[in-house]
Amino acid sequence: MFYSTGLILFAEPPEKNPPRLGDPNVINIQDYKVDSTGKTLETTNINQAISDVSARPGAAFSFFQPAFTSRAPC
């Protein structure tokens, strides 16, 4: 058994051909008027984007800009 009281992170190497804005089935999280400053809790808008992506047939992605993910409050 593995027991831990700390944070565990798993990382994968960068994708060789990552999805990009403008690609079919790529949804930009900013289309949902999400505040990328990290000053506003955006759970509702992000959950709506996830629901929309999940409802699409085939593969689909939500695109988060790198600055968006690095500024989110913990």
Q: Which residue has the higher pLDDT, 60 or 73?
A: 60
Q: What is the pLDDT of residue 70?
A: 43
* 53 close to 61: Cβ distance less than 8 angstroms: yes
Question: What are the tens digits of pLDDT across the range 11-62?
Answer: 778 878 877 778 777 778 888 888 878 788 888 988 898 888 888 776 566 6
Q: Is the predicted pLDDT of residue 63 greater than 70, yes or no?
A: no
In DSSP notation, 29-74 reads GGGGT--TTSSS--HHHHHHHHHHHHHSSS--EEE--HHHHHH---
73, pLDDT greater than 50:
no
User: Do residues 26 and 32 touch, judged by C-beta distance below 8 A?
Assistant: no
Q: Which residue has better confidence, 67 or 58?
A: 58
The one-letter amino acid code at 5 reads T
